[in-house]
Structure 1
């Protein structure tokens, strides 16, 4: 499932390429035809990401709410104006790791770091992507607008940029009151909320519950944006047993979890990768950027030796999701 860093990168794409511009809206798939007709010809005025959800406001007063879910993604084509922090991960600029060493940017072979496809890992939609004929980022080549390929729920098209939405869990129009009600149900997001207030909300929500911390981190009403990857990695980085009830965690430990999420989310938005290993050498950073196998401490490492203690990483199911953890380091 696309996690919070991907949604913030998508929002930045929309801010630079759609906000302030009139967009033609259509639903080639037909499942959002009525909604597309309402916003067709409207001007996008504002965009906001909160956790795993994006909200795009139009000048008719309505908001487009998109929740990508497990399989959803936005595919962009045309002349894409790039956010400077995102441009750094597209090979046009150097990439700076956590220690400040500048190394050449490396693209993930699954496409997670792509400017033209953000959301679910590209391999889940490879058959669609391989058949698409999209234009370059600014070269103007190819057919315009690009042909519709696959099940496109919503297409937004300006004079120069096209955004196709595929496979979302939710795609709907909301009134301002409905949009605010949706936001009220979501937990804090470090990139949009006041950090100190958000920290307090997070600490209170965790420490009043008997629920295991592994489930609380995935609860979008507790904290917005954390999914299965960040959950496993944050718990390992904190050396926490994932089954520990939230109310049993010391306050300073919960606060440290919040600030680690602030740290990791910032890296994710900047690089396009869920990079969770710190203090890597330039060569190790390049390997991690290119391959998920070198990027994480425990995620998808079931049965492999812990990178710290050598104990086999455990895989179990918790809350209908896969949980990876080290029974020694996180005891």
Structure 2
């Protein structure tokens, strides 16, 4: 399932290629008949909140976003959803975001989606929604949710979500208070979108390792300063992910320590030899049965909150923000200069 930084990259892609333009909308699959209601409207804006994408449509470009006439397409990709893009040079900064990595038209005809013939690309039969503008198009397939809402419907969804670390209006105190006031385990709460919006299974596992926290420690057992530290770490990691399209949580000096992974976790830019490989990107995620990069203890896994959580039973025992090895190495992992300077695909 795409994590929050991916949805923010989607919103940026729409903002770059389609926002402000009058577009054609259709549902080749036929399961989103509401596409006819917004056909030939102007795409006013694209907004990401956690794992939710909202596309705002209005009859003309001079309509305010909060006007009653504005309609919002709400998309949640879930496990199998994706957007694919095609258009003129410079339109699509990325060809796909989400689960499948198939270019628009790839199965229908042998045609590069970046050529001037993008207007003739046929949608796949599974395309739930196609949005086409003067310079390019975007196809949505396999989402968990694709609905048409008014402003009140959009706000109702946002009101159910916790703070999004990538949004300027995020309130970290809301996250901290909910965690330290709960008897639930920290590993469970990090996957609860009402506690914090945008975290998926990779960020959960890696945040807990970097904080040296056992996933099953209840929130009430944690100090406020430690939870504040988790938030700070999350903000830094997700901003890096939004900029590069990749999740990288390891410090450079740890990447060549047992660079293996048990499952093939695909990320954007995997084909680029200049990016940090998957096998070097994570401390514990998908490294169950392998030795911990730092202490050599076998990494464990267990189902928690509907997903598999990964952790090192030796490293992840801290009850305070700074574990012993962090005190001995004050530059890691809380110093982010090297993390943000990592090479990666352009945002």
TM normalised by structure 2 equals 0.79
- Alignment of structure 1 residues 162-177 onto 2, 5 Å: 162-177=137-152
- 1:1-331 aligned within 5 A: 1-33=1-33, 35-59=34-58, 60-79=69-88, 81=90, 115-120=94-99, 122=101, 133=110, 135-137=112-114, 139-140=115-116, 142-195=117-170, 198-279=171-252, 289=275, 291-331=277-317
CA contact (8 A) 1:203 1:254 kept: yes
Q: SS at 1:267's partner residue?
A: helix
What is the rounded CA distance, in whole Å, between the counterparts of 2:9 and 2:274 in structure 1? Answer: 20
User: Who wins on radius of gyration, i.e. which is larger?
Assistant: 2
Question: How many angstroms apart in 2 are the aligned matches of 1:228 and 1:163?
Answer: 27
Contact 1:62 1:173 (C-alpha < 8 Å) held by counterparts: yes
Report how far residue 190 of structure 1 moved.
Answer: 2.1
The answer on whether the counterparts of 1:65 and 1:173 sit within 8 Å (CA) in structure 2 is yes
1:110-167 Cα offsets, whole Å, 9 max, x none, are: xxxxx11001263xx6999566656444x42x45231112410100001211100011
Equivalent pair of 2:84/2:103 in contact (CA under 8 Å): no
Alignment deviations for residues 249-289 of structure 1 (CA, whole Å, 9 cap, x no partner): 11111000001110010110111111111346999998783
CA-based RMSD: 2.6
Structure 1 residue runs without a partner (length 5+): 88-114
Give the Cα separation in 1 of the matches to 2:8 and 2:155. Answer: 18
Identify if the C-alpha distance between structure 1 residues 152 and 280 changes in structure 2 by more than 3 Å, giving closer, same or farther: farther
Q: SS in structure 1 opposite 2:302?
A: strand
Secondary structure of the corresponding residue to residue 79 of structure 2: coil
Does the aligned pair in 2 maintain the 1:25–1:40 contact within 8 Å? yes
Deviations 1:75-122 (A, max 9, x none): 001126469xxx6xxxxxxxxxxxxxxxxxxxxxxxxxxx11001263
1:168-198 deviations in Å (ceiling 9; x for gaps):
0000011101111111111111222335xx1
* Greater share of residues in helix: 1
Compared CA separation, residues 205 and 132, structure 1 to 2 (3 A): farther
Aligned-partner SS, 1:187: coil
Answer whether contact 2:255 2:281 (CA < 8 A) is retained. no
Give how far 1:205 is off.
1.1
> What SS does the aligned partner of 2:97 have?
strand
Shift of 1:19: 0.9
Looking at structure 1, the residues matched to 295 and 83 of structure 2 have their Cα atoms a distance apart, in angstroms, of: 40
Q: Distance in 2 between matches of 1:288 and 1:312?
A: 30
**Alignment check: 8 A CA contact 1:289 1:295 kept:** no
From the superposition, tell whether residues 132 and 187 of structure 1 become closer, same or farther in structure 2 (CA, over 3 Å). Answer: farther
3-state SS of 1:308 partner: coil
Is contact 1:133–1:146 with CA below 8 Å preserved after alignment? no
CA distance in 1, matches of 2:89, 2:158: 28
Give distance in 1, aligned partners of 2:146 and 2:225.
39
